[in-house]
């Protein structure tokens, strides 16, 4: 069996933390099995779906590196849905209903008032052909429901384990509106069959939908795929806040978060495996297994993301970042700057310490003299062999300074800052001429 997964966002917004995680797990499951990862655009809601969001979703997946092997759009597939609908109609698995929203809402309240579950009473199933004709003659167009079989519904979820629902306890779902438009449930099943989806991976908010959809697969004579319902993402204190939940690709980019960091974190959140920094997302494939995913909510912490971003940058080779670095940064400069970065944006600061101009510190006379002495020594050093080690060695021996008193004025004079990358890595890149000039400034 070829593993086929699909990521099925509605193009009604940008991708955010929750659906980036779903996309990632779909991608990992497909890649780990040498299968296919498909993008399905759930754009049956014509009012809320836009071309802009379609393009944004493609671009966001591209930026993340989760490139699909193919794409389908639900709005291209209405003929397919119509055919399946006819099949179900002929088999008596869909039926027309004429109740208004108000009527249904009153009936639900009555049922609840009597302590009964608020499920649809199937009144429409009892209508005679004449009664239906009379309603339609009055101008009432029907919406359609799927008739569930009153039997147990069971599956073994790849994340949640054995699942059990009673068909009799569920409401026949509306699958099509009176204007002919489709609700999510049935088209999704028709597509999953047509696309030969082997694994449906999505959030646990869809578990009850799965119970219904399993009967739809059966009613259409199709084999059922495997299901994996991921535990919800939560924030640092309980529910994922609006702000955390809305973190999307645009914002990650603006904050200087690398895709490898975002995906590295999301791949392991809520799993039994530790979060590790990776230089390329392909490294996440090997450790992937649905069995590692827990049922408990997965906690998303933006601070953890920032930390992982730093660790990720420290691994990235020059080639991976070259195009995004300030003009002129060499590989050696990148390697010197890299260990101090939290985001790539900070590389400009590291580069400024090398290239200058650096602000001259306001030194007291004593430090001024110390730096002047350092400048004189710097002139004489062999710059091809650890000039920093030679410089501080000589200064220490000559002045007796050590620790902060030895290092800080040199760093301040050479870089214009109190903190930064290792001086041993920076100094060869600053070079003799600039070093001498800065120390004597």
What residue ranges bind ligand GLU (CB under 6 A)? Answer: 8-10, 42, 184, 188, 202, 206
Whichever of 184 and 370 has its CB closer to ligand GLU, that residue is 184
Cβ at position 346, least distance to ligand GLU in Å: 36
Whichever of 77 and 373 has its CB closer to ligand GLU, that residue is 77
Whichever of 206 and 368 has its CB closer to ligand GLU, that residue is 206
> How far is the C-alpha of 184 from the C-alpha of 188, rounded, in Å?
6
Q: Which residue has tokens 């929750």?
A: 18
Cβ at position 186, least distance to ligand GLU in Å: 12
Cβ at position 209, least distance to ligand GLU in Å: 7
Q: What CA dihedral angle connects 214, 217, 221 and 224, to 10 degrees?
A: -70
Query: In 180-219, which positions are buried (b, 16+ CB within 10 angstroms) versus exposed (e)?
Result: eebbbbbbbbbbbbebebbbbbbebebeebbbbbbbbbeb
Whichever of 107 and 206 has its CB closer to ligand GLU, that residue is 206
Whichever of 188 and 271 has its CB closer to ligand GLU, that residue is 188
Whichever of 199 and 411 has its CB closer to ligand GLU, that residue is 199
Q: Beta strand 233-235 with 298-299: parallel, antiparallel or unpaired?
A: parallel
Cβ at position 10, least distance to ligand GLU in Å: 5
Whichever of 188 and 415 has its CB closer to ligand GLU, that residue is 188
Phi/psi at 190 (5° precision): -60, -45
Cβ at position 73, least distance to ligand GLU in Å: 12
Whichever of 8 and 186 has its CB closer to ligand GLU, that residue is 8
> How far is the C-alpha of 20 from the C-alpha of 251, rounded, in Å?
13
> How far is the C-alpha of 391 from the C-alpha of 89, rounded, in Å?
87
Cβ at position 229, least distance to ligand GLU in Å: 10
> How far is the C-alpha of 179 from the C-alpha of 165, rounded, in Å?
31
Cβ at position 53, least distance to ligand GLU in Å: 12
Cβ at position 50, least distance to ligand GLU in Å: 15
């Amino acid at each position: 069996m070829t593993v086929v997964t699909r990521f099925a966002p509605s193009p009604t917004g940008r991708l955010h933390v929750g659906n980036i995680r779903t996309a990632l797990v779909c991608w990992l499951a497909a890649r780990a099995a040498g299968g296919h990862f498909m993008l399905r655009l759930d754009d049956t809601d014509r009012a809320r779906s836009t071309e802009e969001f379609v393009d944004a979703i493609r671009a966001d997946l591209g930026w993340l590196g989760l490139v699909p092997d193919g794409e389908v759009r639900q709005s291209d597939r209405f003929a397919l849905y119509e055919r399946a609908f006819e099949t179900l109609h002929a088999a008596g698995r869909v039926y027309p209903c004429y109740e208004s929203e108000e009527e249904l809402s009153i009936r639900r309240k009555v049922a609840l008032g009597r302590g009964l579950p608020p499920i649809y009473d199937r009144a429409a199933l009892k209508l005679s052909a004449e009664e239906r004709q009379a309603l339609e003659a009055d101008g009432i167009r029907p919406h359609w429901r799927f008739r569930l079989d009153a039997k147990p519904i069971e599956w073994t979820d790849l994340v949640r384990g054995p699942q059990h629902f009673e068909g009799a306890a569920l409401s026949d779902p509306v699958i099509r509106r009176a204007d002919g438009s489709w609700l999510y449930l049935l088209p999704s099943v028709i597509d999953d069959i047509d696309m030969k989806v082997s694994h449906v991976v999505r959030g646990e908010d869809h578990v009850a939908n799965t119970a219904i959809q399993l009967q739809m697969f059966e009613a259409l004579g199709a084999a059922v795929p495997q299901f994996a319902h991921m535990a919800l993402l939560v924030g640092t204190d309980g529910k994922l806040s609006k702000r955390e939940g809305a973190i999307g690709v645009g914002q990650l980019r603006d904050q200087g978060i690398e895709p490898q960091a975002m995906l590295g974190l999301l791949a392991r959140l809520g799993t039994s495996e530790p979060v590790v920094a990776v230089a390329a997302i392909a490294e996440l494939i090997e450790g992937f297994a649905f069995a590692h995913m827990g049922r408990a909510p997965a906690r998303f912490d933006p601070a953890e993301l920032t930390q992982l971003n730093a660790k990720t940058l420290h691994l990235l080779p020059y080639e991976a970042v070259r195009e995004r670095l300030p003009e002129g940064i060499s590989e050696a400069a990148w390697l010197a700057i890299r260990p101090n970065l939290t985001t790539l944006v900070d590389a400009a600061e590291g580069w400024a310490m090398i290239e200058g101009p650096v602000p001259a510190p306001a030194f007291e006379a004593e430090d001024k003299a110390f730096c002047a002495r350092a400048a004189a020594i710097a002139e004489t050093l062999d710059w091809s062999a650890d000039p920093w080690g030679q410089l501080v060695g000589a200064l220490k021996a000559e002045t007796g300074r050590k620790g902060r008193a030895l290092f800080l004025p040199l760093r301040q004079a050479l870089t214009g800052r109190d903190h930064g990358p290792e001086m041993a890595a920076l100094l060869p890149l600053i070079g003799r001429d600039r070093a001498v000039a800065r120390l004597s400034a």
